[in-house]
Structure 1
Amino acid sequence: MSEPSLVYERFERELASADIESSGAEVHGIICGLLCAGQSDAYAVLLRELLPDSPGDDLLARECTNSLRKLFDETEAAIDGPGLGFSPFMPEEEKSLKVRARAVSEWCQGFLYGIGIAGVDPEGQLSEETREALNDLIEITRMDVDALEESDEDEDVLVEVGEFLWVAAMLVHEEIVHGPK
């Protein structure tokens, strides 16, 4: 899967400097939700959601907008291109398990938000299998991050959950963009 060329921590600082309260993972989740839902003007919708006021002369907001565009373009190319698609944009593996688990939860929140603002009606547009995957994403948002321990078992579970994010997103993309099989 394709890795974004942006550095997660720097991207988070840019978001904060532009007064965007969402994490990098949540923003990437929104991007993926919009793209997987086939939103034709996904980038414009993203900007309206995150930066409702034009950056204008605000250099920090413009830098953030440039990074948002880069992450958006890379994600779109990965989702629509050949190969396995995208990797969720997450903190580096050196970060604590709790930090990375919180990012997984935030990515799920963003993805669900993205398909919601794209107008996806799960009951009317998605198969039972895909609705179940979305329900699993909802459950992941409820994960008790504080209960996690730095253990091989919890690490393995987080890796599996991270792989599931891709599967759920691709299920939505396949059904919405390419139609049910």
Structure 2
Amino acid sequence: MSQTDIFSVLQTGLTQAGSVQTPGETHGTLTGMLCINNEVSPAAAVDDVAGEQLGQALDALREMTLEGLFDPDLSFRPLLPDDDTVDLDTRVAALARWCGGFLYGLSFFGDFNPAHLSAEVREVLNDLTELSKAELTAEEDGDSAEGDYAELVEYVRVAVQMIFLECQPKREGPQTRETLH
């Protein structure tokens, strides 16, 4: 499943399940949980998993997320609405909810303590907290706002990699992961 397909299936499945979560928020939650425990079940990131198709999408999302997080080329990408089909205001709101979900996912197990992290990663966590409140203002519009949004998405992408690498136990040798099919 492609990231666009997963987004669509999640959106439909979450709506049918009566969940108030968005696909991005769900992915953010799952990503935060995986930063702490990369063995977590994807169903833990959703209020209520109903339906086989939603379960399959969550499994595919978990695998795609872990592949991106473990990838030495840092290919992780947050699951957000498509830039070409959704207006900027909606995408900014989705990014904010993604960040909120991510922060929730980090704290889900109850033993996450930012004090044990480097000063740089604590600063990144503060930035993500601020981004979870982001919204588009009336004076922000056009190409510069689109560029700013793209920079924020890239910042989130890199920030999550930093957090993941610091939270995961150190490994001997190359950090690779077998792909499950």
TM-score class, shorter: 0.7 to 0.9
Contact conserved, 2:14 with 2:54, CA < 8 A, in 1? yes
Aligned mate of 2:63, from 56, 73, 77: 73
Normalised TM-score (structure 1): 0.83
Q: Give matches, 1:98-109, under 5 Å.
A: 98-109=89-100
- Residues in 2 aligned to 1:146 and 1:63: alpha-carbon distance in whole angstroms: 37
Aligned length in residues: 167
Which position in structure 2 is the counterpart of 1:63? 53
Deviations 1:15-40 (A, max 9, x none): 11122221111111111111122x15
Which position in structure 1 is the counterpart of 2:75? 85
Which position in structure 1 is the counterpart of 2:25? 26
Contact conserved, 1:25 with 1:88, CA < 8 A, in 2? yes
Which position in structure 2 is the counterpart of 1:121? 113
Q: Structure 1's 111 and 15: CA in aligned 2 closer, same or farther, altered over 3 A?
A: same
Deviations 1:146-177 (A, max 9, x none): 54643111111111100011121111111111
- Residues in 2 aligned to 1:167 and 1:139: alpha-carbon distance in whole angstroms: 16
Shift in Å, 1:136:
0.4
- Residues in 2 aligned to 1:75 and 1:100: alpha-carbon distance in whole angstroms: 20
Contact conserved, 1:98 with 1:145, CA < 8 A, in 2? yes
Q: Structure 1's 64 and 148: CA in aligned 2 closer, same or farther, altered over 3 A?
A: farther
Higher relative contact order (CA 8 A, sep 6+): 1
1:25 aligned partner, one-letter code? G
Which position in structure 2 is the counterpart of 1:47? 43
| Fraction of identical pairs, as percent | 28
Normalised TM-score (structure 2): 0.83
Shift in Å, 1:140:
0.7
Runs of at least 5 residues in structure 1 that lack an aligned partner in the other structure: 56-60
- Higher alpha-carbon deviation: 78-87 or 4-13: 4-13
Q: Structure 1's 22 and 139: CA in aligned 2 closer, same or farther, altered over 3 A?
A: same
Runs of at least 5 residues in structure 2 that lack an aligned partner in the other structure: 171-181
Contact conserved, 2:11 with 2:23, CA < 8 A, in 1? yes
Q: Give the root-mean-square deviation of aligned CA atoms.
A: 2.0
